[in-house]
Every structure is written in structure tokens, then in C-alpha cells.
Amino acid sequence: MREFSSLEVKVVGNDLEKAMKVLKKKIQNDGLFRRLKLKKSYEKPSEYRRRKRRESERRQRIARLKNRRYARG
């Protein structure tokens, strides 16, 4: 079973607007909006495979860039 992490935002000095901004940013970084959008409508299996492949390529590209940035040379 997949474990869910809880998102927690502390409201300091009754500044609800700032807390809402922080919460929205955390939700975006977590990918919740993207997952909800994908669940909203049917995705064909070919589109699913294509999306998964693109996401994988993007992760690999980012990892290569990070490795290059921190590699000693």
C-alpha cells in the first residue's frame, strides 16, 4: 500500500493569505494537482504509455544535469 505524506502549513500571526500560498505551492510540488487532473478523465493506454515515457525521460535528463553539475572535473 502506498504511504501518503501529510502536508502541514503553520499559520503565523493570523496571516491566512500567506499560509494559503504556501499550501498551494506545497500541493503543486507534491504533484497532487497533476494527479487529480489525470484522474478526471479517461486516458487511453497509448497516451498513458507515452506520458509515462516522457516523465521518465524528463527525470533522467534532470538527473544527468545534476550529475554533471556536481561531478568533479
- Distance separating alpha carbons of residues 55 and 61, to the nearest angstrom: 10
Neighbours of 43 (CB within 10 A): 13
pLDDT score for 57: 97
* pLDDT bucket at 3, cuts 50 / 70 / 90: low
What's the grid cell of residue 48? Answer: 498513458
- 42, pLDDT greater than 70: yes
pTM reported for the whole predicted model:
0.55
Collapse the DSSP code of 50 into the 3-class scheme (helix H, G, I; strand E, B; otherwise coil) and give the result: helix
- 1, pLDDT greater than 50: no
